[in-house]
A and B are shown apart, each in its own frame.
Chain A
C-alpha cells in the first residue's frame, strides 16, 4: 500500500454554484443584448477604456515589437517547434477508403473545423507560450478561420510578449477581451460574424465554466482545472532537482497540486526538507508556498509497479519520471497529459518550447483524453457508397435487422431497393411490395 508522507489538506474546489450563476448571467445578457452587452460591460469595467475590442495586425505587430530581440528569437523558436510537432501529428492521421465487402466502399475523411476560437489567458503571468499552443495547432490542423482573444489589464493594452506571439501565429481576428465575455463572443460570433465551432485554451474559473456550459453547442479542448504535476522518482534522482521541479509547477496558482511519488524514503525526506527553502528563495514565494502546503503530496511506494499504479490513479496533467529504465515507464504509464522522461527534461520545457502542447487534461480527465492536439480541431467523419449489386446482401441484412428491431420504415428503405434492383428475385424473407400496396 502506498503511504502518504505528506497529504493534501485541501482538494481543489469544483463546480462552484456562484461561478455558474455569474457565467449564466453573462451568457444570457450577451444573447439578449448582443454586442451592446460587451460595450456596456467593458465601459463599466475600465475607467479609461480604449473602446477598442479588435486589434488590427499592424497594431499587434507594433506593440509586439517592443520586446527584446532575444525574446523574439526565442518565441520564434518555440513557434517553430510547436507548429512542427503539430504538423507531424497531422501527418499521423490518415484518411482512407476501403472496399469492406464487394461493392461496398466505406471511407474516412478528416475535416478541420471551419472556425476555431483560442483563449489566451491574462492574469498574473504573460502567457506568450499559450498563444502559440492554441493558434499554431489550429493552423497545423488546417482550420481556415481562427479567432484569438486575450484580456487587457487596463482596457488599453496587452503584454507585448503575448502580442508578439500572436503576431507570429497570425490569427484571422484578434480581440482584446477576457473572461466569460470573450468565450461568449467567440461562441456566438459577436464582432467577427464567425461563430467558433470549437473553443480552446486555458483560463480562469469563469472561462472554464463558460466553456463547460457552452459545450455541446461548441466543441472544447479539455476541462481546464488548476495545473498539476506529478514527479516519479527513484533513488537515482537528485532531490534538489526534484524539489526545484516541484516548486516550478507549484508557482502556477494557490491550488496547483504537485505530487512526488517515490519508492525511496531517503529521497522523499530530503525533498520535503528542501522544499521550504527552495520555495522561499523565490522573489515571490507566497503562491508556491500555499500550493505546496495545501495541495502538495509525497507518496511512498514499495516498488515501481506501485508507483505507476498511483500515477495512473492520479492521472496527472504532467508526469515527470526521474528514475532508471525510462522505456519501462514509457510503456507502463497510461494516464497522463504529457510525459517528461528523465532528469534532462523538466516540465517547463514542454510548457514553453520543446514542441508538445501544454494545454492538457487536469482533474483526472487524462483517463479519457489527451491534451490539445491537431485532432481536437479535426472531425473524423465517414462516408459510403454501394453498387446496386451490393444491395443484394446489404439490403437484405439491413431489412431483416430493422424488422427484428421493430423499425419498419428502415426495413422498407432497404426493401424498395431490393425490389428495384432485383425485380425478378423471389426473396425468402419479408420484403415489402410497394406496387401491390399502392394499387
Chain B
C-alpha cells in the first residue's frame, strides 16, 4: 500500500454552483442581446470600449516593442509545435475499403470550419498558449481561426499578439472571459460562429466552455495545472524539487505530486522544498500550492508507482528513474509524459513541440490533450452497387423487422423489389402497392438501377 508522507490538505472544487449560476446568466444574456451585451461586459470588467477586432495595423503596433530575441524564441517554439502537429496530422489516414463485394465504406477526415482559441491573460503572458491552440488548428486544416485574449494597454499582450500573428490567426479580438467564449460560440463581431472552442482559462472560462459544450465542441475540461513526478533512488532531489516548484507556481490550487519508492529521496525533497520555493522572487503562490495540494507518496516498487500514477491520471507526468522504456510502455493515464531528468515539464509547456493544453482532473482516463484530431471530424461514407443490395438489403430488412422497425425494413425492401424484380424471396419483403411514378425519372447515373416496383 502506498504511504502518504505528505497529503493534500485541500481538494479543489468549492464555489462551483455559484460559478455555474453566474456564467449561465451571462451566456443567456449574451445569447439574447448579442454584441451590445458583450460591449457592456467588456466595459465593466476590462474597461475596454474600443473595437474588439484588432486590425493588422493594431496588431503591428502592439508587437512593435517585442525584442528580436523574444521573436526568435517564439518563432522557434512555433516551428516545433507546428511541425509536431503536422506529424500528428500525417498519422491519421482517410481510407476506403470494400468491406463486402459491392459495398464501399470510407472514412474521411474533415477539419472543422471555424475554431475559436482562447488565450488567457491574468498573472502570466501566455505567448506559448497562443501557439498551442492556433498553430494546431492550422495544422489540422481549419480554414478560419478566431483568437481572443483579454485587453491590455492598447490591445493585447505583445508577446501573445506576436505569437498569434505568427500562427496565422484569421481574426484577433481583444476580449476576455465568459464574454469572449460567448462571442466566439455565437459568431459575434466575426460572423463566424466557432464549431469548436479550445484553450485554457480561468474557472469562469472553463465553466462557459462546459455549459456550451454540445452546441460547440471543446478541447478538454480545464482545471488547475497538475504535475506528477515519478522518481526512484537515481533521481537528484534538487532537480525534483525545482521541477515540482516550477509547476506549483501556476496557481494556489495547482497540485504537484511526488511518487517514489525511495524514502531517502522523498525526505530530502520534502526538506528542500521550502528553501527552493522561498528562493522565488514571488513565492506565495507556489508556497500555498505546495502546502495545500502538494503530496509525497511512498511506494514499494515501480509497479506500485505506476499504479498510483495511473490513478491520479495527472496532466503532466515526469519520470526520473531507471529504465524509462518500462515506464513508457506501462503508464496509461496522463496528458503528456516527460521521460528522464533531461526534460522538464516546462520544456513541453513552452517549446519542445508537444501540446501543453492537456487533460486535468483525471480526464486523462478518457482523453489526450489538444491535438490536430480535436479539430478533425472522423466521418464515414458508403456506397453500394445494386448487386450488393441482394445481401445487404436482405440482412438490413430482417434485422429491422426483428427490432420492430418496419419503416427501416421497407427502405430495404423497395430496393430488393426494384433491383431484383424477378426474385422470389424466402423471407418477408414488403410489396409496395403504389406503382412507380408513371413518368420515368432518370435513375442515378452511377447506379444504373433497374425499375419496376414488383
A348 near B400 with CB under 8 A, answer: yes
B76 CB contacts on chain A under 8 angstroms? 393, 397
What is the bound-complex CA distance between A350 and B382, given in angstroms? 8
A/B interface sample: 25 pairs, CB < 8 A: A74-B402, A85-B99, A92-B95, A94-B91, A126-B402, A240-B436, A342-B446, A344-B388, A344-B415, A348-B408, A348-B412, A349-B382, A349-B384, A354-B384, A354-B392, A356-B382, A367-B195, A375-B373, A381-B336, A384-B353, A394-B352, A398-B346, A401-B351, A416-B239, A421-B342
User: Which 9 A-B pairs give the minimum distances between C-beta atoms?
Assistant: A368-B217, A219-B366, A251-B407, A409-B249, A413-B246, A248-B411, A383-B337, A339-B381, A348-B408
- Could you mark each residue 330-341 of chain B with 1 if its beta carbon is under 8 Å from any beta carbon of chain A, else 0? 001111111111
- Could you mark each residue 382-420 of chain A with 1 if its beta carbon is under 8 Å from any beta carbon of chain B, else 0? 111111101101110110111011111111111011001
Looking at the assembled complex, report how far the CB atom of A6 sits from the nearest CB atom of chain B, in whole angstroms. Answer: 19
A223 CB contacts on chain B under 8 angstroms? 214
Give the segment of B54-62, B277-285, B294-302 that binds chain A.
B277-285
A404 near B159 with CB under 8 A, answer: yes
What is the bound-complex CA distance between A114 and B311, given in angstroms? 11
Looking at the assembled complex, report how far the CB atom of A423 sits from the nearest CB atom of chain B, in whole angstroms. Answer: 14
B257 CB contacts on chain A under 8 angstroms? none
Find residues 247-297 in chain A having any chain B CB closer than 8 Å to their own CB: 247-251, 267, 270, 274, 277-278, 281-284, 288
B411 CB contacts on chain A under 8 angstroms? 244-245, 247-248, 346-348
- Could you mark each residue 127-151 of chain B with 1 if its beta carbon is under 8 Å from any beta carbon of chain A, else 0? 1100000000000000000000000
15 further A-B pairs in the complex, CB-CB below 8 A; given A338-B380, A402-B350, A409-B245:
A67-B402, A74-B402, A108-B87, A343-B444, A343-B449, A348-B396, A369-B377, A370-B380, A384-B336, A386-B340, A397-B76, A398-B347, A398-B351, A410-B349, A412-B246
B351 CB contacts on chain A under 8 angstroms? 394, 397-398, 401
B367: Cβ under 8 A from any A Cβ: yes
| Nearest A residue to B349, CB-CB | A410
A235: Cβ under 8 A from any B Cβ: yes
B243 near A413 with CB under 8 A, answer: yes
B77: Cβ under 8 A from any A Cβ: yes
Q: Which of B76, B107, B352 has the most CB of A within 10 A?
A: B352
| Nearest B residue to A411, CB-CB | B346
Are A215 and B84 also in contact (CB < 8 A) when A382-B354, A406-B124 are? no
Contact of A85 among B97, B280, B328, B446 (CB under 8 A): B97
Contact of B404 among A124, A277, A407 (CB under 8 A): A124
What is the bound-complex CA distance between A366 and B112, given in angstroms? 9
Q: Which of A124, A235, A288, A348 has the most CB of B within 10 A?
A: A348
Find residues 76-128 in chain A having any chain B CB closer than 8 Å to their own CB: 77-78, 81, 84-85, 88-89, 92-96, 98, 100-101, 104, 106, 108-109, 111, 113-114, 124-128
Looking at the assembled complex, report how far the CB atom of B159 sits from the nearest CB atom of chain A, in whole angstroms. Answer: 5
B270: Cβ under 8 A from any A Cβ: no
B210: Cβ under 8 A from any A Cβ: yes
B195 near A326 with CB under 8 A, answer: no
What is the bound-complex CA distance between A224 and B385, given in angstroms? 31
What is the bound-complex CA distance between A169 and B384, given in angstroms? 26
Contact of B444 among A108, A126, A237, A379 (CB under 8 A): A237
A338 CB contacts on chain B under 8 angstroms? 379-382
Looking at the assembled complex, report how far the CB atom of B355 sits from the nearest CB atom of chain A, in whole angstroms. Answer: 7
Contact of B443 among A334, A343, A353, A400 (CB under 8 A): A343
A365 CB contacts on chain B under 8 angstroms? 214, 217
A322: Cβ under 8 A from any B Cβ: yes
A193: Cβ under 8 A from any B Cβ: no
A129: Cβ under 8 A from any B Cβ: yes
B103: Cβ under 8 A from any A Cβ: yes
A71: Cβ under 8 A from any B Cβ: yes
Q: Which of B91, B281, B432, B441 has the most CB of A within 10 A?
A: B441
Contact of B392 among A349, A390, A410 (CB under 8 A): A349
Question: Could you tell me the dominant secondary structure of chain B's interface residues?
Answer: mixed
B441 near A370 with CB under 8 A, answer: no
B346 near A96 with CB under 8 A, answer: no
B414 near A244 with CB under 8 A, answer: yes
A404 near B127 with CB under 8 A, answer: yes
B353 near A104 with CB under 8 A, answer: yes
A197: Cβ under 8 A from any B Cβ: yes
**What is the number of residues of chain B that contact chain A, defined by CB distance less than 8 Å?**
144
What is the bound-complex CA distance between A74 and B129, given in angstroms? 51
A238 near B88 with CB under 8 A, answer: no
A411 CB contacts on chain B under 8 angstroms? 346
What is the bound-complex CA distance between A255 and B317, given in angstroms? 47
A240 CB contacts on chain B under 8 angstroms? 414, 432, 434, 436-437, 453
What is the bound-complex CA distance between A352 and B399, given in angstroms? 7
Contact of B282 among A217, A236, A408, A421 (CB under 8 A): A408
B165: Cβ under 8 A from any A Cβ: no
| Nearest B residue to A236, CB-CB | B442
A161: Cβ under 8 A from any B Cβ: yes
What is the bound-complex CA distance between A337 and B108, given in angstroms? 11
Contact of A344 among B339, B384, B404 (CB under 8 A): B384
B400 near A324 with CB under 8 A, answer: no
Find residues 273-319 in chain B having any chain A CB closer than 8 Å to their own CB: 275, 279-282, 286
A356 CB contacts on chain B under 8 angstroms? 105, 380-382
B381 CB contacts on chain A under 8 angstroms? 330, 338-341, 356
Looking at the assembled complex, report how far the CB atom of B49 sits from the nearest CB atom of chain A, in whole angstroms. Answer: 27
A63 CB contacts on chain B under 8 angstroms? none
A429: Cβ under 8 A from any B Cβ: yes
B94: Cβ under 8 A from any A Cβ: yes
B403 near A126 with CB under 8 A, answer: yes
| Nearest A residue to B94, CB-CB | A92
B175: Cβ under 8 A from any A Cβ: no
Looking at the assembled complex, report how far the CB atom of B277 sits from the nearest CB atom of chain A, in whole angstroms. Answer: 9
